[in-house]
A and B are shown apart, each in its own frame.
Chain A
Amino acid sequence: MDQQVPIGVTVNGVRHERAVEPRLLLSDFLRHELGLTGTHVGCEHGVCGACTVLLDGDAVRSCLILAVQADGHELVTVEGLAPPGGGDELHPLQAAFREAHGLQCGFCTPGFLMTLVPFLREHPHPSEPEIREALSGHLCRCTGYQGIVAAVRLAAGSAP
């Protein structure tokens, strides 16, 4: 049973075409096929949030989607946040995480960022309860979340 399905996906603005086994998860496709290892794999059952990416602009768990299902869709991973060109410039949200100590080991960070990008688009001036609720689909074992909440407030220009 080695069915191979041809797929075409756009990731961070770049078109990729591959043939994949149907059981390949989108998270593994991004990491192993495309070498985009910024998307992290934690629990692989949709709880930890580390593998969150944008699918057609919406935050989704890439471990709960098959790569074949992304065929024809547009993805953004954490590698797509900073301005292209490979310089030192960060996305404002990434800069806020650095500034406000929103990360320590960094394993969970890409997932948080990918959830927060659409969240801040919809809630440009979120309250703290709204921020905490938005973060609830992510686990962080280092920060105790305080720095992450502060980073979101900083990015939203609503720092206390």
Chain B
Amino acid sequence: MKPAPFAYHRPATLDEALALLAEHGGEAKPLAGGQSLIPAMNFRLARPAVLVDLNRVAELGYVRAGRDGLQIGAMTRQRAVERSDAVRSAAPLLAEAMPFIAHPQIRNRGTVGGSLAHADPAAELPAVMLALEARFRARGPQGERWIPAGEFFTGILETALGPDELLLEVVVPKSPARTGYAFAELARRRGDYALVGVAARVTLDRRGRCQAARITLFSVGDGPVLAAAAAAMLDGQEPSPEAMRAAADAAAQRDIDPPSDIHASAAYRRRLAAVLTRRALARAVERAAQASQ
């Protein structure tokens, strides 16, 4: 069980990497942390003719607290994000989600950009970035562009990136005041892909009512799902246990259309979605209230 042969390039700069992708068009695949691509190649589910290894492109590995928000270079290792004080203070939802991504051995290699560009519907990072309204900076032969998280994920393992485009950076905007967050998932064993997961961000107004809620679920469809109906039910409401339960039920019944597979039935996933969303909302509201004091 070995990868099929491929031509290997390891550019040292972003410009070189982009030139290689442009030269080889759809034949080439960028290699980030390799924690999804290499297993797929080991099983020969993926047989790229050309690999462009980004691991020497040092300019893509950083975490910075900037004026517009938290900037994370696409090649930043997940473990570095997990351990970053800047992430903990600027994007606590992201910090809370990081330990749920696979195992430490995988996070030591896996990158933020790699996970986002891979767009596994069961992955944590896409849902977290969607909940946080992150913006993705990509560059290709046509130049650079910004893609909002809401437009980035287009299907199972599909993104808005072109074959000769690279994801360079993710920017997580600053959260408004009086904002709380929570992340929750259920997996059969620690480190497994979640059966269902949820990321929630709640902002309260000065009177303690819900000013804005943003809830995303994953492992319930073709990509991260924004639970718009659930969020709308909370808008302007007192975040009472009843209101949160009703919103969580709406998320499970109206916002998602989960699949049945060998891991869980659709009905079980809906049930989990309701329970996890309710718990996540309760914790997010509690934290938002603490942040309001």
Contacts and interface: CB of A to CB of B under 8 A. Distances in A.
Interface residues of A, number: 32
Nearest to A52: B105
A66 to B, nearest CB: 7
B37 to A, nearest CB: 9
A115 B191 contact: no
Most buried by B among A1, A5, A23, A44: A23
A115 B105 contact: yes
Interface string B7-35: 11010000000000000000000000011
Contacts of B4: 23
B103 A23 contact: no
B67 interface: no
Contact of B105 (A23, A66, A137): A137
A136 B53 contact: no
Given A59-B104, A61-B105, A23 B3 contact: yes
Contact of B104 (A1, A3, A23, A134): A134
Interface string B33-45: 0110011011100
B207 interface: no
Interface in A63-86: 63-66, 68-69
A58 to B, nearest CB: 4
Nearest to A28: B2
Of the candidates B2, B3, B103, B106, the one having the most CB atoms from chain A within 10 angstroms of its own CB is B103
Contacts of B191: 136-137
Interface in B29-66: 34-35, 38-39, 41-43, 51, 53, 55
A154 interface: no
A64 B35 contact: yes
Interface string A98-124: 000000000000000001000100000
A113 to B, nearest CB: 13
Given A1-B5, A1-B7, A136-B103, A64 B34 contact: yes
B154 interface: no
B1 interface: yes
Contact of B10 (A55, A68, A137): A68
Nearest to B189: A136
A22 B1 CA distance: 15
Interface string B176-191: 0000000000000111
Interface string B73-102: 000000100000000000000000000001
Contact of B8 (A22, A44, A60, A137): A22
Contacts of A3: 7-8
A141 to B, nearest CB: 14
Interface of B: 1-8, 10, 34-35, 38-39, 41-43, 51, 53, 55, 79, 102-106, 108-109, 189-191
Interface of A: 1-3, 5, 21-25, 28, 44-46, 49, 52, 55, 58-61, 63-66, 68-69, 115, 119, 133-134, 136-137
Given A119-B104, A136-B103, 6 more contacts: A23-B3, A45-B43, A66-B38, A69-B34, A136-B190, A137-B105
19 contacts: A22-B51, A23-B2, A23-B41, A28-B2, A45-B39, A46-B38, A46-B102, A52-B105, A59-B104, A64-B38, A64-B109, A68-B8, A68-B10, A69-B34, A134-B104, A136-B189, A137-B105, A137-B106, A137-B191
